Structures are given as structure tokens and as C-alpha cells.
Amino acid sequence: MYWNKEAETIDAVSLSEQQAARLKKTVESLYSNIQFYKKQMDLAGVKPADIKTVSDIRKLPFTTREDLRENFPDGLLAIPKKDIVRLHTSSGTTGKPKAIFFSKHDIDAASDLMARSLYMTGLRNTDIFQNMMTYGLFTGALMMHYGAEKIGCMVIPAGPGNTARQISLMQDFETTAIHITPSYGLYLASVLQKQGLDPATDLSLKKAYVGAEPYTEETRKKIESLLKVDAYNCYGLSEMNGPGVAFECERKNGLHLWEDNFLMEILDPVTGEPIPDGEEGELVLTTLNREAMPILRYRTKDITKILPDKCPCGRTHRRIHRIIGRADDMFIVKGVNIYPQQIERVLMSVKGVAENYQINLENLDKMTVKVEIDKNMFDGKVEHIVTLRNEITERLKNEILVKPVVELLEPGTLPVSEGKAVRVIDTRTM
């Protein structure tokens, strides 16, 4: 069942024609309205007339996070200010916020993509959608809100945190779907457990939309089994409208990236050269349907790969693998490159591990993985704890090739963040 069958099942030739036309229009607008892009394109020796097909994208300059900051607040606007209807900023996980502007057309297009994404997973107007993301400058909550409303769901704009209230809202209004970060999802499950509530009988939940930060397949499974839901991965970034950039369909086998709205490239993060389908690289995105603030070849720093097979759902937009990591999140210990997701994958697959963990890096590359374990593991039997710690240490060493110190903690010891989780604390000074 499609929200927009024609758009979702478009054949490759028509898609490529549509992309080329939209790219051309975008480049013409950028060149004549934005000083920064005119200068960059002149430097690269490329004119709007040189852009005829999708592959001409390679002639165009990149846009980086730093470019957005240097042009802060409104240097990258392509339309008069009077036609702007909304400002968002990125949540600023990695430095100062960036300002993103939307026209009425842009908000409509973004809401429509959101509705398309949610509908694809089976969300309908009979659903009660409790949105546990931060409302405000961040795109995550508002864009999802608009999409769910567009489908006709009853939306509960709960915002994050205040878990006791979230639970009463879910009970009182029989919430069927939630939008949540993976870290808060796991925390919510632990509070339900503590209150002796079983989601299968005490709640009406069916679906969870989980995104905004990288997480592993093991974490998805854990959320699904603890909350008794189908959890769908949703990916996006403020620079590209917010959460409806790529989304899982009911097959949950990778995320369809909406190629009629975004031109996708997977590039070598260092050289900027294209990477063959199926191999990991940096996702680079160009907006194809945005008026106020079109962006060319944005370096997301998110690492993923294209899943080349066709999806049995019939949608033709190519799928990406769940984000493997952010180029920025990677840290180096004893010369080895490590992503926090590698550690999470191991932890979440070990029986006895609870929801929260933290990685601490200290001088001399001392790496400590602090992890909360299930309450019933603290049953007084020291040997149980020692066995578990040894198992985790050994499995981590196999995965990351470095042997960390593993500390097991009681549930509730580590800080819980309402927004994006902080997983790595690096206090190394040398």
C-alpha cells in the first residue's frame, strides 16, 4: 500500500529524468541567487548550462558543515526573506547550530515525504501517534508531527522525558505508535519493567519509529522485544529537511532513500571519489525539491552503503544500510579505528546486559566500557558477575581488536539523556 504509488514505484529511467530536471532547476536557482554557490561554481569552472544529466553532479562543488556555519545565518538563502515560513536549526550534536530555512513549498514537500514514509510502515488515520522527540528548533519532532497529522493520526505532542507522564499518556489515550530515540526507547522499556507493566497487555503499542542517532540491529531487536513493537529505522538530518530522508518499509531491510527529493552519492570520505554500490562510504546528498535553501552535495559524514537488490515491497527508491557510524564519532585507540556502534552491537547481544552504556577514553589510550546490567544479575554471586565481565571483555576484544577495561554497573547508574545520547567521553590530552 502506497501513499503515492506513482512516486514510490517510479521506473529508473523516469526517475533519472526527473532528477536531472530538478537538479538543473536547483543549480540555476543557486547560481543566480546565492553568492557563495556562484563563487564556488565559478572556481570549479562550471555553469548551470553544463548540468544536463544526473552524472553531471560530479562537476559541482561540495557543501560542508563549515560552509553552512560560515554563511550563518542567512547567506545561503535562494528566495526573498518574506517567502520564508520556518526556521530550524540542527541540534548541534557536533558544534554550533546551523540555520535551515523553509518556504511553504518546502514544508509541504517535507511533510508529504514524512507521510509517505510513515504510511509505508502501515501507519493509518486510526493510529494514535505519541511523539517523544524534542519539539522546538530541532526538525525531528515537528516534521514527524506534520507527517503523522497528514495521514490523519491523532498526534500527541508529548516531547521527550517525564517518563511517568509518557506512560500515563500511552495508557489513557491508547497510543499505538511512538517516535523515539533508541537510547530513550531502551530507557522507557526499563521504567516500564520497574513499574511492573507489560507492554503486551498494559499498553496498545504496535510501532516505534526510532532514529536521530546511530544504533545497531541488536538494539532494534531489543527495543522490539522489550516494548513489543515493530521498530522502524528513520534517518534524516536538519540540513535535508529532517527525519524523512530515508526510511524503512514494512520489510525492515534497509532504508529507502527518497531519490525524487534527494540525489544520493556514496563517496570515499577522504578523496571524495565515488564508491561502488555495496561498499561503505560517506553519504553525500543534494536537495532536488527545495526552494528556500537548496544545498549541493552536502557532506553528511554519515557512513553507509547502498543495498543494491530490489526491495520486494515494490518501491524503486534505492535502499541504504542503517548508518554504520558518523565519520566524526570514530575514535582511535592504540592505532585502531573504532565506531561506538561496534561496541553497542556486542553489548546489546550479550544476555544480562541492560540498556545503558558509556565509553571512557583516558590518557595512554586507556579505554573503559561502563555498562549497566540487569538487576537480577546482582544476586550476590560474584562468580556470575565475573563470568559476564569476562565474556563481554572477550567479545569486545574480538570485535574491536583492543581489550578494554569493562565495568559492570547497576541499572540507573549512568546518566540518561533526553536528547541524543552521549556515548563516548574522551578526556585524553595526549
Q: How far is the CB of 245 from ligand ADP (least distance, A)?
A: 8
Contact call for residues 207 and 218 (beta carbons, < 8 A): no
Cell of 76: 545561503
By beta-carbon proximity to Zn ion, the closer residue of 143 and 249 is 249
Q: How far is the CB of 386 from ligand ADP (least distance, A)?
A: 34
By beta-carbon proximity to ligand ADP, the closer residue of 261 and 392 is 261
Q: How far is the CB of 154 from ligand ADP (least distance, A)?
A: 25
Q: How far is the CB of 29 from ligand ADP (least distance, A)?
A: 23
By beta-carbon proximity to Zn ion, the closer residue of 73 and 314 is 314
- What string marks each residue from 237 to 256 as x (binds Zn ion by CB under 5 A) or -? ------------x-------
Q: How far is the CB of 311 from ligand ADP (least distance, A)?
A: 17
By beta-carbon proximity to Zn ion, the closer residue of 267 and 313 is 313
Cα 77 from chain centroid (whole Å): 25
Q: How far is the CB of 421 from ligand ADP (least distance, A)?
A: 11
Does position 68 bind Zn ion by CB under 5 A?
no
Contact call for residues 45 and 39 (beta carbons, < 8 A): no
Stretch that binds Zn ion, among 8-16, 284-292, 305-313, 328-336 (CB under 5 A): 305-313
Q: How far is the CB of 257 from Zn ion (least distance, A)?
A: 11
313 interacts with, out of ligand ADP, Zn ion, none, CB within 5 to 8 A per kind: Zn ion
List contacts with ligand ADP (CB under 6 A).
90-94, 138, 211-214, 233-238, 300, 302, 323, 326
By beta-carbon proximity to ligand ADP, the closer residue of 91 and 358 is 91
Residue 209's nearest CA partner among 286, 119, 297, 126 is 119
311 interacts with, out of Zn ion, ligand ADP, none, CB within 5 to 8 A per kind: Zn ion
154, 307, 311, 416: residue in contact with Zn ion (rule CB under 5 A): 311
Residue of closest CB approach to ligand ADP: 93
Contact call for residues 285 and 245 (beta carbons, < 8 A): yes
By beta-carbon proximity to ligand ADP, the closer residue of 123 and 234 is 234
Residue 337's nearest CA partner among 325, 349, 345, 347 is 325
Does position 313 bind Zn ion by CB under 5 A?
yes
Contact call for residues 194 and 226 (beta carbons, < 8 A): no
- Cross-strand bridge partners of residue 235: 246
Backbone angles phi and psi of 356, in degrees to 5:
-115, 145
Backbone angles phi and psi of 360, in degrees to 5:
-110, 130
Q: Using CB under 5 A as the criterion, which residues of the chain lie in contact with Zn ion when the complex forms? A: 249, 311, 313, 315
